[in-house]
Amino acid sequence: MARSSLHIQITAHDRPGILAETLAFIVDVGWNVVDIKQFVFNGMLNLSILLDEDDESLIPPLKEALAKYAEQRNFKVAIYPWKHEAQAESPYPHRSVVTLLCATFPSSAFLEITKTFADLDINIVRIEQLDSGDIQVLEFVIGTRKAHSAEDVLNALVRFKENYRVDIAVQEETYFRRNKRLIVFDADMTFLQCEVIDELGKLAGHGEKMSQITQKAMSGEMDFKSALRERVAILKGLPVEELEKLAENLPLTSGAENLVRILKHLGYKIALVSGGFDFFIDKLCSRYGLDYGVANQLKIEKGVVTGELEGEIIDAQAKENALVSLAEREGFSLRQVVAVGDGANDIKMLARAGLGIAFNAKPIVQRQAQASINLHDLKLILYFLGINGVDLQELNNIAGKGSRQSWPDTE
């Protein structure tokens, strides 16, 4: 007898029992079930069943039974031949996940992104809407013939990103994508909605000069170490009482506190790795229960800032080293690490992490990161971790019990 393999496809209004009823026909006729896939979209069931049998004569009775069943139940059934090799060897074996965040996602955007993928011979395997509230979040699982890096796909989406003002993350579809364990934040203009050293400059009476040097350092126009020493020198003589007052009033970026609560509930380790000062970072870690804080040591003697630093300067290389060291200390793979930052001194840290997110970042940083967010809400990071809107609401309800805030927030 010739060997036969069939693909049964059923489309129907969803209700309990359709799969069981269909399998009853299949088993009664004598076919072997090889694989089953099903999903429900907008109340419509899409069911696929792969069958295999050595007896070709079993095809007509199966077709007859399913045709009568479909007519009685008012749904559509189709039967196709299939080859085992087609299931085993996909022509697009390399999988990536593209996550899009935007305020609105018009039909023209769907057209452009799907055309972009098609022009690059990229196959769309699955599309899922993670959220559809104030923020639209779409997740595309794509397949490529060759192992495209995240950078390749990001470069292909540059024009699309500019046209529709979307935030994009591109990640390899591996088990590490949903198994992140450590998140490392830059502090100034990332976890905090200010540049602390600029605020200190204002207190010292040199706000404008301080801000100009900071801008040059963050945009990569000035060596970070030189810029830091020059700015610290401006602070000479500043009383520690002024630092204490500033530390009590540092503005968190919107979503930061809720994000920390949710990540801690999920078991993440959380670190601040900052080119700022330990005086402030240590207080933030204590206040919000963060696991690690790494920052420059501001020298203070007799209650005033000396205008000098102590120990290693936390520049771009030191940030990268800290990220690697923290991952090793916790026993995590670097692919389980998320890094978030906005300045040029964060680039190495973002590149080394399994997922590097440029948060409201300078152009030089966005061009080199796997992911970017240009909305002032740190909670959006959770979508890049594969969490959907329903999950977020549930997590917020659990992690936020007894807290002064709830999802969503305005912080």
List residues bridging with 171 in a β-sheet. Answer: 97
First-to-final CA distance of the chain: 71
User: Which is catalytic among the residues 167, 188, 346, 377?
Assistant: 188
User: Residue 369 phi/psi, 5° resolution?
Assistant: -105, 150
Q: Give the other-Cβ count within 10 Å of 89's Cβ.
A: 9
d(CA 75, CA 11): 6
Altogether, the residues listed in the chain come to a count of: 411
**List 186, 198, 315, 346, catalytic entry:** 186
Diameter of the chain by CA atoms? 95
Contact 170, 366 (CB under 8 A): no
Q: Are 353 and 338 within 8 A, CB to CB?
A: yes
What is the rounded distance in angstroms from the CA atom of residue 219 to the CA atom of residue 353?
Answer: 21
186 is catalytic: yes
The Cα 142–Cα 221 span in angstroms is: 37
Helices (H), 331-400: 347-352, 363-366, 381-384, 389-399
Q: Kind and range of the H or E element at 283?
A: helix 278-288
Phi, psi at 56, each rounded to 5°: -65, -25
Cα–Cα dist 110/100, whole Å: 11
Look up 54 and say whether it is catalytic: no
Q: Which amino acid is at 226?
A: S
Contacts 24+ apart (CB under 8 A), 361-370: 362/218, 362/219, 362/220, 364/219, 364/220, 365/341, 370/150, 370/151, 370/154, 370/169, 370/170, 370/171
Positions of E strands within 258-406: 269-277, 292-301, 304-310, 337-341, 355-359, 371-373
Tokens representing residue 388 in the block: 């959907």
371, 250 in Cβ contact below 8 A? no
Contact in structure between 126 and 200 (CB atoms under 8 Å): no
Active site residues: 186, 188
